[in-house]
Each structure stands twice: as structure tokens, then as C-alpha cells.
Chains A and B, each alone.
Chain A
Amino acid sequence: MNSIDTRRRGFLKTSLGAAAVAIAPGMLLFDMAHGKSEAVSSKVRWGMLIDTANCADGCNDCVTACNKENGLAGGSSSGGLSPTDSQWIRKVELKDMRGGRTLSLPMMCQHCENPPCVDVCPTGASFKRADGIVLVDKHLCIGCRYCMMACPYKARSFVHEPLHDQKPDVPRGKGTVESCTMCVHRVDSGQQPACAEACPNKSILFGNLNDPDSEISKKIRTVASIQVRADLGLNTGIRYQGI
């Protein structure tokens, strides 16, 4: 290698270093000025573990909290329920006809890893976020309701009537399909979903399934829990204990 090559190499190294030093603080400042700059990633998978043994028969607190948080009609003070109102979470009563054992559990969008609603959506409105939350992008939804047909859990609702006074954090509108968002606006700000917070018996445990040290992962390792309709191979984010 001759001396010109060596000098050229040296010059390139120093100028690259100088450029990095000049640019780095600018990028840092840019990040600081523009708030949260990191997109959700698949390092996290949000999920819930529902302990049906603790879920009280007749208790409806999770449903009420969901309605209130998301501005669904069931939570409004003005009107009662109408037959076309959206239902993001509902209480289901189960009874073993032979043994007579009854149990009660909340049922909502199961936030599948392989969601059938996403498979069938013709516009790409139904999608799964990198962190496992299944959502409807209502800007793209045309209201065809294929996803409602495809969902094995009957988790989705269609908005039939014009809406007024939506909550600023939860935009909803006529002609689109909607379902449990796992309170995505709360999760993004570091809170847990409204239903988990409202449960008086703490039967809904919310957390990161991908983090082996999270409370939910530890519990799933130690107690028996199942996915509803595990035979479909959807790998749901919501798991039930004691069914």
C-alpha cells in the first residue's frame, strides 16, 4: 500500500468521526423534542391471564369500566343500551350440565397471534400491531363485516348509528367495525387496560407475555391455563385459568 492510500484512508476515518460527532447531538435533540420516537416492537407481546375462579358471578365491573373508558353507550349516563350498541367485552356464564358447576368469565377480542379477522380483511384495516394488539384502522375500514364473520369469539361489533360526543382518546364512527383495543391508548401511556384495573378481585392480569420475568409469564409457567378454542391454532393473547 503506498503512502497516498494510507493518507487517504486516515483522512476518511477522521472525517467520518468528525461527521458522527457533529450529527449525533442533533439527532438526540431531535428525539427529545419530538416525544416518544420508538415504534411499538415485537419484543413485547401484550396479553392477559383471566382467573375464572375469582371472577364473581353477576359482577359486571369490567364491562362497565370498558364502556366508560371507551365511551360505549353502555357507559353513558344519558341513554340505556340499544340493541345495536357495541360490545367490546361481555360476561359469559358457563354451566356444566352433568356436574352442575357454573362459572362466569369475561369474553372479548382474544388478540390472536394469527388473527382470522386480519386474514379476511379486504382493505388491510384489520391489523395486528407489532406488540400483538389486534386493531381496526377505521380510516381504512369500509364496514364490510367479513372480520365479524371470521372471528370465532364474536368479539367484534359494527357501529350502526351515527355517534356524537366520542371520547378524545377513542375515536369511533358509524359504518366501521370495532372491538376491544386492549385500551391501546392507555397501554401506550404505560397504564393497564380499564377492565384489568376495574376488576375488584384482580382476576384480570395484564402484562408482557414475551418477558420471562413479568408477573403474567411467571404465573402462566406455574398455573394451568388454556386458550379458548386452542384447537384453531390462533395462539391467543388472552388466556383463561380454571375453565
Chain B
Amino acid sequence: MSKLIALLVALCCCASAGATESYRMPKIDTGKGGQCVKEPQWMRKNHMHLLRHQRDETVHKGLRDEKISLKNCIECHASIRDDSVISRDDSFCVGCHRYEAVKIDCFECHSGKRKSAWLQKDAK
């Protein structure tokens, strides 16, 4: 009996592992990463609302909240390799957006590069 249970458990484990693998999550380069605004699951669902709200506050009222500005997001989430959130298929923004098939317009105007990297380049 105990052998049967062990076999069942093993089978279940295999099945769930298989299920996770077949449900291929995008592999993204989170850069320095970390949590500063809210937990990742909440951010995955709601980051666009924060950005959209903040953009109007900043452009029209001059409220430059450091914490939820696009620049600040990029500062931590840009890849350590190339200082960008958009340059490669697995970059922070591109990785997920390609997986979800949602086009991002932000970077047609905004820089996808980390500001500190920009300043270094500028200083040279």
C-alpha cells in the first residue's frame, strides 16, 4: 500500500513538473531587481496604471515622484549587461511584453537606458 502511495506521489510530482515546463514562463533579465513599490505579482498586473497616472502628474503638474517614475523603474530593472530594458529579447520589458503580445510604445520616445549609464557616457 505504502509503495502504491509513493508511486502515486511520484507520478503527481512528475505531472506537475511537466505542467510547469509546458507552461513556459518568459525568462527575463530582471537586472538589479528587488521590490520597491509593491510585490511582483501586483506589479505585473498593475504597473501600467501606475505609469500612466504618474506620467500625467509629472507632465502637467511637475510632480516628479522618484519612486514610481519610469526612469526609476529602469534604473533598477535595466540589464546589468547592457544597461537597457529593451535591447534584447529577454530584456526586462521586452521579455514579458513579447510573451503577452502587448506592444509597448513608451520607448519610441523614452530612453530605455539607465540614467546613470547615460551620465557616464556623457561624461566621456
Contacts and interface: CB of A to CB of B under 8 A. Distances in A.
Interface of A: 34-40, 127, 129-131, 135, 137-139, 162-163, 165-169, 171-174, 176, 184, 188-189
A36 B62 CA distance: 9
B108 A173 contact: yes
A228 to B, nearest CB: 26
Instruction: Tell me if B's interface is mostly helix, strand, loop or mixed.
Output: helix
B115 A35 contact: no
B82 interface: no
Contact of B65 (A35, A139, A168, A189): A35
Contacts of B109: 138, 163, 166, 171-173, 176
Nearest to A71: B111
The 8 A-B residue pairs with the shortest CB-CB distance, nearest first, are A173-B109, A39-B61, A40-B62, A171-B109, A168-B115, A168-B111, A171-B110, A173-B108
B118 interface: yes
Could you say which of A135, A138, A166, A184 has the most chain B C-beta atoms within 10 Å of its C-beta? A166
A188 B109 CA distance: 20
Nearest to A166: B111
Contacts, number: 61
11 contacts: A34-B67, A129-B61, A139-B56, A165-B113, A167-B118, A168-B74, A168-B110, A168-B115, A171-B109, A173-B109, A189-B64
Could you say which of B64, B67, B108 has the most chain A C-beta atoms within 10 Å of its C-beta? B108
Nearest to B61: A39
A131 B109 CA distance: 25
Given A139-B55, A168-B71, A39 B115 contact: no
A167 B112 CA distance: 10
B111 A39 contact: no
A39 B57 CA distance: 8
A168 B62 contact: no
Contacts of A173: 108-109
